[in-house]
Amino acid sequence: ANPPQEDEDGDGVGSACDNCRGAVNPGQEDLDSDGLGDACEACALTVDSGLIHSLGLRADGTVWTWGDGASTPIQVPGIVDAEAIATGRDFALALRSSTGTVVAWGENDKGQLGDGTTTPSAVPVDVVGLGDVRAIAAGRTGSLAIRDDGSAAAWGSAYQLLSGEVQ
């Protein structure tokens, strides 16, 4: 994890990362030769977007969301170990690197959160009965996961695609 940074301009990005934004920074040392200066490694983002919201995954494992009324990124509570993100129409997923499990939040009318209910959640909830996950994907109202053993699981409207264990 990276120490907290001062955010002088209030944009939700630490001041040391303001000039990073995934861009090449020729003035910075780049020990791993990935084109991103070493000082910016903790600021790198993977992004995905849904209908009216977007997600960003920082290199430190935190997940950030914006859109749907929020113009600046807001950290998703309780996620500090994400290795992948995916967004559906109006819900989101994160794959937790520490456990190989998946959390979901947002709308849930088709069971897309995978928690056995159709109740929406503003905070991440565990997808039940799912572990050892290595990849995730989200569609309009359904989700898919690939486990370490190569098997697939589906929930929400995607459940009809597979005979997976998660419903």
CA distances from 137 to 13, 42, 90, 131, 165 (A): 26, 24, 14, 15, 16
Rounded average pLDDT over 20-33? 56
Per residue in 88-122, pLDDT tens?
999 999 999 989 999 999 999 999 999 999 999 99
The structure's pTM equals 0.73
Q: What is the pLDDT of residue 99?
A: 94
Rounded to a whole number of angstroms, the distance between the first and last alpha carbons of the chain is 34
* SS3 assignment, position 68: coil
